[in-house]
Amino acid sequence: MAQVNQGVRETVYPQAAQPLYRTLSQIAISAVTPIAAVLVALACGAALLWLNGFNGSDIVTVMIFGSFQDMRSVGEILLKATPLILIGAGLCVAFRCSIWNIGAEGQLYVGAIAATLVGTNFDGLSVWVHAPLVMLAGALAGAAWAGIAGYLKVRFQASEIVTTIMLNYIALILTSYLVTGPMRDASAAYPQSARLIREAWTPRIVSDMRLHIGILVAIVLAVALYIFLQRSSRGFALRVVGLNPHAARYAGMQVARNVMIAMCISGAMAGLAGAFEVAGVTHRLYQNISPGYGFEGIAVALLAGNNPLAAIVSGGLFATLRSGSEVLQITSQVPQVLVLVIQGIVILSVVAFAKLRDILRIVA
C-alpha cells in the first residue's frame, strides 16, 4: 500500500516537489484532525442531548458561546486552563519520550500538599519570596513523586502505567489523611487545612477576578518546553529515545537518564499545577482539590499531538468545555451525569482521532 501511494505521488508530483508535498501534508493532517475530533464530539453530544429531550443546539449556543458572556467568564476559563496547560505541556514531554505518565493527578495532589506546607509556614517572608517558594515546593514535590515511577521503570522495568496509577491512589489517600488529621484546621467544620499565609498567595492579574499570574507562567513554560524539545540537544535525545531506545543506546545516549528527565519534567509541571490551585484559587488544601485535571491533561496532550506549544490551545479548549458544562447544567437544566458523558465523548473522540492522525502521517 505504501509503495502504491509512493508511486502515485511520484506520478502526480515531480521528484523535487516531494519534500514540500510531504511537509504540507503533515501540516494539514496536524491541523485538521484536532478540529475534526472536536466537531465529531460536539455532534455526538448534540445528538445525545436531543435523544434525552433537550435542545441539541444548546451544546453550541450555551456550552460554547455561553462561556464567553463577559470578562469574568473569560477569566474563569483562563483560570481552568492554567492547570490543563501546565499538565498537558508536561505530559507532551513524557509522551514524546514514549513514557506513559498516567499519574499527573497524583503528582498534582502531592504538589498541592507541599505548597500547603510551605504556604502555611515561614510567616514574615515577603510575597516576592514566599509565593515563589510555594511554586518551587509544588514543582519539586511533583517531580519527586513522578521520579518514583521513573526509577521503578529504569531499574526494574516496571510498567509506568501501572506504577503511576497506583501512585495516584496513594497521593489521594495521603491528602485525605492529612486534611482529616495532622494538617486539619481545628476551627473548620469540614476537612481542610489552615489558610495559607497571605504573602504565599499567587498574585492576581485583576484584583476583582480570580484569575492569577499562573496562566502567564503556564504559557511561558509551555513555550519553553517546546523550545527544549525542538531546539536543544537534550530534547533531541528525549525524542530519539521515544522513537527507538535501542538506536538511542547504540548512539551513546543514556536511555535511563532521559526517561528520568522526561518523567520528572512532567511531574514537576503537574506539581506546579497543584501549587497554583492551592495558592491561587482555594488558599487551602481540600480532599478533592482537583476535579480531574490530571486525567484531563492526558487528553490535552493527545489533542495537541504531544506538542507543548499546541497544548496552550488544546488546554484552552478543554477549559472552555469544562466551563461550558457548568453553564449547560445551570441554564438548560441538563443533569450532571449527561454532562459527564458528553465530556467523556470529547475525550474518546480526541484519542480516536489522535490514532487516526498517526496513521495518516505514515500513509502521507
Residue 354 predicted with pLDDT over 80: no
Average pLDDT, the chain: 89
Encode pLDDT of 131-181 as tens digits.
999 999 999 999 999 999 999 999 999 999 999 999 999 999 999 999 999
Residue 16 predicted with pLDDT over 60: no
Q: Report yes or no: 296 and 303 within 8 Å, Cβ to Cβ.
A: no
State residue 251's pLDDT score. 92
Q: Give the integer Cα–Cα distance in Å for 318 and 234.
A: 30
- Report the amino acid identity of residue 336: Q
User: Minimal CA–CA distance to 194: which of 132, 286, 289, 291?
Assistant: 286
Q: Give the integer Cα–Cα distance in Å for 325 and 332.
A: 10
State residue 13's pLDDT score. 47
Residue-range domain boundaries for the chain: 82-314
Residue 12's pLDDT band, with cuts at 50, 70 and 90, is: very low
State residue 76's pLDDT score. 93
State residue 65's pLDDT score. 77
State residue 14's pLDDT score. 52
Locate 304 and state its grid cell.
495537541
State residue 338's pLDDT score. 83
- Report the amino acid identity of residue 166: M
Q: Give the integer Cα–Cα distance in Å for 270 and 105.
A: 7
Q: What is the mean pLDDT of residues 185-207?
A: 92
Which position has the higher pLDDT, 41 or 216?
A: 216
3-state class (DSSP) for residue 193: strand
Q: What is the mean pLDDT of residues 224-237?
A: 96
81 Cβ contact partners less than 8 Å away, ≥ 6 residues apart: 215, 218, 315, 316, 318, 319
Q: Give the integer Cα–Cα distance in Å for 233 and 252.
A: 13
Q: Give the integer Cα–Cα distance in Å for 93 and 261.
A: 9
- For 13-27, 51-65, 276-290, which range has the lowest pLDDT when averaged over its residues? 13-27
Work out the burial of residue 20: count CB atoms within 10 Å of its CB; fewer than 13 is exposed, 13-18 middle, 19 or more buried. exposed
State residue 197's pLDDT score. 96
Encode pLDDT of 46-61 as tens digits.
898 898 888 888 877 8
Encode pLDDT of 202-216 as tens digits.
999 988 899 999 999
Element (DSSP H or E) covering residue 123 = none
| Residue that the C-alpha cell 444548546 belongs to | 58
Locate 359 and state its grid cell.
496513521
Q: Report yes or no: 88 and 311 within 8 Å, Cβ to Cβ.
A: yes
Q: Give the integer Cα–Cα distance in Å for 328 and 295.
A: 22
Q: What is the mean pLDDT of residues 85-106?
A: 97
